[in-house]
Structure formats: C-alpha cells, structure tokens
C-alpha cells in the first residue's frame, strides 16, 4: 500500500535524523494538511490521524450540515438531505465526519510531492535542532574527524556525522591536517550557509587555550584555579593570567607542572606556541612587571587616566621585554589593558642622547619607528646595527644608514 510505504520510509528517516516520535507525527500531519489545503481551492476542514508504528493513515473530512440549496462550499458544507443519507439523525449546524480514502485523494504525483515536503521539513527540523544544540555549546572543546580538505577550509564530522567547518582563518598558521585525522577545536559560531547549518570551529580563539588548560590541569577543571585572561598571537606566543582560590596552591606551578609536564601537551597542540603563565594580581604595576617576563623591570609608572604605563629597565633587558616581532610587549599590553612604553634607566646612559633631540635632522615618523622597537636613545639605535634595524622597522636601508651617520657624528664630536 502506497501510504504504508510512505510512512515507513519516513519512520526510518526519523531514526537517522534523531527526531523524536512526537515531532515526527506533527510534521507528517502538518504536511498532509498543507497538501490537502492546496489540493482544494475552497477551504476545507480535515483531520489527519497517523500511526507511525503501524504505518496507518486516516484522513477525515469534516463538513457542516446546512439546509438544502444553501451549500456554498461543498468541501466544508453538506446539505441536510445528503447528511441524512449517511446517518438519519443529523441536524442543521452539526458536523459530519467522513473517512476519506488515501488513494482517492492523492495520485502518484501528489504522493511524490508529499515525499518531497516531508524530506524538506524533516531536514529543516534536524537543521534547527542541530543549530540550537551547538549554539548552546559555543566555546566548548570538540573533536572532529577530517574528511575533506580545501584551500580555505577544512571540513570535519562529529560523532553523529554532522558537518563542522574549520576555516583557514581560524587555524594556527602551522596547522597541517590529513584526511581521517582527529582535530580539536572550540565551537566559535553557528550560522546558516546555503540554508544548511554551518558550525564554525576555531583553534586561534583564546577559549581554545582555556579549554586545553581545563583538560590538562585538574585544578583548573575543578575551579580551584581560574583563568582570568588569555591573549595570544596564534602560533607564536600566548600569555595566560591565572589565580588560585587556595593559598596553598601556586597557580603558575600547577599549570606548568613538574618540569613542564602539564603545559607540554598544550604547547604541542598549539604547534609549539610559547605560553607565559602569569600569576594574576589586582596590583596593576605588579601585573605589568609579571606580564613583561622574562625581562626584569626596574620600575613602573602608570597614567590611569590614559591607561598608559612607562616601564624602566636596564638596557640589556629591553630586547627581552619587546620580544621577537614585538609579541611580548604587545601581548603584555593586551593582558594588562595598558599601553606600555619601555625606557632604559637614565643612570645607564648618562652620556647618551634621547632621539627626540634629533628632530631637526630626522623626521618624526622615522623617530617613531625606532621607538616602536624600544629604541629611545641614539646609542640604543647604534647598538642594533643597520641590517637588524631594517628587518625590525619599516625603514629603508638608505634611511637607516643616514640616521646611523647622524648618531655616530654626534658621539665623535
């Protein structure tokens, strides 16, 4: 029987899509009613009763009894004389219910239409449920298996076979995956793409590091140690501020582990990204000092109104404070919320000259380029050398050589 095959096929489809029985029944009834409403130009009143387990379908047409000759809508009304042929006790205003044969109401073309409607509705239901479920899991760590690798995106599947997207922009620069490989990432976003659920994952989000710490450090998972802030330059360096609610537990030591045993797995997952774990404090001067590690700081001066920090240190500590590519000082600023400027202790360079003194010979934008890499005196620039200055700034070699000539002539005099 056509109707039984139709219902059985969608009962199986329901199991594949993990849709509960009640929702499946509602979808079936709604689709049949919609098709019936389209079948008749005049509005009718139908009841659809479906037993998915037995594969039964009953369609009942309900019509109101009206006086003979007053039938305006034969789909919704029946004359009294015709109603009395069905049962001899009907009265005007009552409702007559008649069971309609499925075969008489629906031809093969309409059965195909019903099948298409059901597939679309069940797919939409599954999509909406999937999006709702993953929306509630934003920020969670998830495993997925790589099954498709494209230039700008990697497609993964979760344990239920749902598609997950890991865009190139959300991958660590050193990431390289093979088909069938298991990948860890956090759920970043859930949206629609081509009318399908698009679950976007990320391996560069700060939450990714947080979830990894929760997996590797029991004290973080239990809430004894909390992660106050995470900033990172994916694939290069990250800084994590942690705080312990138990005075007996050193949060930094617990996160790093004996000989780095706990943090080693996280670093390996992040493709050897350097991770500085910082003991959080509400003392901003102390927090800035810790954030600029491994550089040793002499003193810190804060401008709370402008959220700026002037940090003083020995000359040999400046390069450590800035770090390769400026990552250390930039991340320290993001971690603490201050714009950090680095200065050398004046005692170290009594015979040195601040580069601002050369504004009449050197353009200000050139001076700014030197300041960006922590060079605020003539000697600090001369110590680096021409090639390194070119690689660390946006200056041309001719400009650098001219500046070095001016500085050298100053000390020769």
Tens of pLDDT along 30-55? 777 777 766 665 556 777 776 656 55
- Mean pLDDT in residue range 189-208: 92
- Following DSSP, what letter does each residue of 282-317 receive, concatenated? S-HHHHHHHHTTTSPPSEEEEETTTTEEEEEE-GGG
Cβ(25)–Cβ(134) below 8 Å: no
Q: Retrieve residue 176's tokens.
A: 């390289």
What pTM, to 2 d.p., does this model score? 0.66
What beta strand segments (E) does 43-158 contain?
45-51, 56-66, 77-79, 95-100, 141-149, 153-157
Closest CA to 96 of 82, 110, 109: 82
How does DSSP classify residue 273?
A: -
Closest CA to 68 of 54, 57, 79: 79
pLDDT-above-70 percentage for the chain: 86
Residue ranges covered by each domain of the chain: 2-132, 137-204, 214-280, 351-412
Q: What is the pLDDT of residue 150?
A: 92
Looking at domain 214-280, its CATH superfamily turns out to be K homology (KH) domain (3.30.300.20)
CATH 3.20.20.70 fits 2-132, yes or no: no
pLDDT at 358 over 70: yes
- Compute the distance between CA of residue 192 and CA of residue 351 in angstroms, rounded to an integer: 65
- Mean pLDDT in residue range 70-78: 79
pLDDT at 349 over 50: no
- Tens of pLDDT, residues 259-293: 888 999 999 999 999 999 999 999 999 999 999 98
Q: What is the pLDDT of residue 124?
A: 82
- Compute the distance between CA of residue 245 and CA of residue 223 in angstroms, rounded to an integer: 8
Specify the fold of 137-204: OB fold (Dihydrolipoamide Acetyltransferase, E2P) (2.40.50)
Q: Which pLDDT band, with edges at 50, 70 and 90, does 104 fall under? A: low
The helix (H) or strand (E) run that includes residue 251 is helix 251-256
- Compute the distance between CA of residue 95 and CA of residue 62 in angstroms, rounded to an integer: 6
Q: Which pLDDT band, with edges at 50, 70 and 90, does 15 fall under? A: low
- Mean pLDDT in residue range 360-382: 81
Q: Which pLDDT band, with edges at 50, 70 and 90, does 347 fall under? A: very low
- Compute the distance between CA of residue 44 and CA of residue 82 in angstroms, rounded to an integer: 17
- The terminus-to-terminus CA distance of the chain in angstroms comes to 106
Q: Which pLDDT band, with edges at 50, 70 and 90, does 1 fall under? A: very low
- Compute the distance between CA of residue 129 and CA of residue 110 in angstroms, rounded to an integer: 28
Q: Retrieve residue 173's tokens.
A: 């620069």
Q: Which pLDDT band, with edges at 50, 70 and 90, does 348 fall under? A: very low
What average pLDDT is seen over the chain? 83
pLDDT at 238 over 80: yes
Say what angle helices 397-412 and 364-372 make with each other, to 10 degrees. Answer: 90
Q: What is the pLDDT of residue 407?
A: 85
Q: What is the pLDDT of residue 188?
A: 95
- Mean pLDDT in residue range 377-385: 81
Q: What is the pLDDT of residue 19?
A: 65
Q: For residue 410, how many other CB atoms are within 10 A of its CB?
A: 16
């Amino acid at each position: 029987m056509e109707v039984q095959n139709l219902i059985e096929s969608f009962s199986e489809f329901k199991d594949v899509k993990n849709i509960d029985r009640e929702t499946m029944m509602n979808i079936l009834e709604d689709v049949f009613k919609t098709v019936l409403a389209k079948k008749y130009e005049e509005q009718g009143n139908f009841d659809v009763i479906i037993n998915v387990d037995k594969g039964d379908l009953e369609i009942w047409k309900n019509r109101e009894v009206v006086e003979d000759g007053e039938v305006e809508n034969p789909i919704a009304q029946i004359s009294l004389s015709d109603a009395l042929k069905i049962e001899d006790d009907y009265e005007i205003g009552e409702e007559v219910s008649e069971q309609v044969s499925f075969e008489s109401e629906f031809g093969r073309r309409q059965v195909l239409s019903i099948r298409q409607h059901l597939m679309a509705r069940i797919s939409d239901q599954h999509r909406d449920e999937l999006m709702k479920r993953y929306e509630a899991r934003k920020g969670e760590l998830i495993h997925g298996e790589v099954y498709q690798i494209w230039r700008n995106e990697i497609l993964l599947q979760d344990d239920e076979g749902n598609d997950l997207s890991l865009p190139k922009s959300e991958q660590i620069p050193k990431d390289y995956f093979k088909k069938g490989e298991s990948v860890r990432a956090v759920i970043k976003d859930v949206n629609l793409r081509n009318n399908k659920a698009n679950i976007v994952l990320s391996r560069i989000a700060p939450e990714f590091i947080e979830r990894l710490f929760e997996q590797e450090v029991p004290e973080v998972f239990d809430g004894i140690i909390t992660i106050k802030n995470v900033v990172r330059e994916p694939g290069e360096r990250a800084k994590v501020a942690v705080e312990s609610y138990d005075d007996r537990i050193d949060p930094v030591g617990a996160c790093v582990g004996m000989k780095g045993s706990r943090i080693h797995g996280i670093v390996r997952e992040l493709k050897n990204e350097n991770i500085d774990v910082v003991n959080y404090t509400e003392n901003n001067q102390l927090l800035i000092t810790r954030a600029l590690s491994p550089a040793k700081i002499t003193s810190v001066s804060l401008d709370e109104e402008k959220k700026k920090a002037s940090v003083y240190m020995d000359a040999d500590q400046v390069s450590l404070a800035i770090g390769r590519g400026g990552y250390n000082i930039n991340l320290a600023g993001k971690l603490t919320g201050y714009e950090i400027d680095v200065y050398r202790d004046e005692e170290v360079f009594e015979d040195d000259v601040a580069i601002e003194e050369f504004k009449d010979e050197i353009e200000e934008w050139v001076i700014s380029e030197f300041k960006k890499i922590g060079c605020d005196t003539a000697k600090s620039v001369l110590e680096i050398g021409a090639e390194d200055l070119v690689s660390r700034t946006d200056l041309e070699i001719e400009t650098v050589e001219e500046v070095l000539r001016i500085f050298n002539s100053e000390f020769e005099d």
